[in-house]
Amino acid sequence: MRVVVGLALLVLGCGPRAHIPPRPLVVPGGLAASDSGAILARALAPLLYVQRDEWFPLERIVAVLHPTRRIIAYHLLWKDDVHGSWIPFTVPTDEEVMWVGYDSTRAPTDIWTYWHGTLLHTDWRNSGQVAIDVQWGKHGSLPHHTIESDLPRLKKLNLFYAFTWIGLPDIWLGDLTRRGPLCFCHGYGRYREYTKLMPTGNRLDAVVRTEDATDALADVFGRPYSKKRPWP
């Protein structure tokens, strides 16, 4: 019993705290809303299909236009990740990133998404608005209607679902440091349902044109943040 109490005190004392800068935001180098790059970033911003039981809100979005390539990175900051949030000195928020390639007509041609360390690529020519499915709790990003069998062998969706049950102690420890879910308390069929639509074009907190957006992301997301890879 003393071991359990001691661990709880450790978690409460050392669990990370997010420090997301308050609005209004001033981002050096940020493009004005009327800038052609900002208009393009809003037009190509993905429509998110979020799992309806998602607990953590989407806090911030930064669009980054590459200065020489026809590609835009969309960095998303979720309030937290369902797993590992109690570990001392871990990053207290969850940054995810997706990229949209476009052609000379400014129509989307490619999507790259970050799926737990693996880049997924989908040809998006003639497919209309970019659409992304967002995994419950972990916020891994999948091109809409991804075939599950095409995912990497050790990163299948059913394995992540299984871990929502295997990892219950981890989830509960996280709940000691901030409000979070007790579990994903439904079946696998519901885990795969992405029915909550979330447009992002009207939610961009900043649009910048640069190859290295580290400073701009820190201004919007706060420090520390995950610093995912900038480009595919």
- List the chain domain ranges: 2-221
Side-by-side strand order, sheet with 118-123 = 118-123, 108-115, 94-102, 71-78, 58-65, 206-209
Q: Is 56 helix (H, G, I), strand (E, B) or coil?
A: coil
Q: What per-residue confidence (pLDDT) applies to 134? A: 98
Task: Please check whether residue 135 is in contact with residue 51, taking contact to mean a CB–CB distance below 8 angstroms.
Answer: yes
Nearest to 230 by CA among 213, 216, 218, 215: 213
pLDDT tens-digit readout, 133-173: 999 999 999 999 999 999 999 999 999 999 999 999 999 99
Asked if pLDDT for residue 98 goes beyond 80, the answer is: yes
pLDDT band at residue 25 under the 50/70/90 scheme: confident
Q: Which of 182, 15, 3, 164 is nearest to 86 (CA)?
A: 15
Torsion of CA 185, 187, 192, 193, to 10 degrees: -70
Computed over every residue of the chain, the mean pLDDT equals 92
- 107-135: average pLDDT: 96
The structure tokens listed for 168 are: 């219950």
| Cβ-proximal residues to 58 (8 Å cutoff; 6+ apart), any chain | 48, 50, 76, 77, 78, 79, 198, 203
Percent of the chain with pLDDT over 70: 93
18 C-beta neighbours (distance < 10 Å), count: 18
User: In this predicted model, what pLDDT tens digit does every residue of 56-76 receive, in sequence order?
Assistant: 999 999 999 999 999 999 999
Whole-number Å distance between alpha carbons of 219 and 82: 24
pLDDT at 15: 62
- pLDDT exceeds 80 at position 11: no
Distance separating alpha carbons of residues 91 and 93, to the nearest angstrom: 6
Instruction: Tell me how far apart the alpha carbons of residues 178 and 17 are, in angstroms, rounded to a whole number.
Output: 8
Please give the pLDDT value at position 10: 45
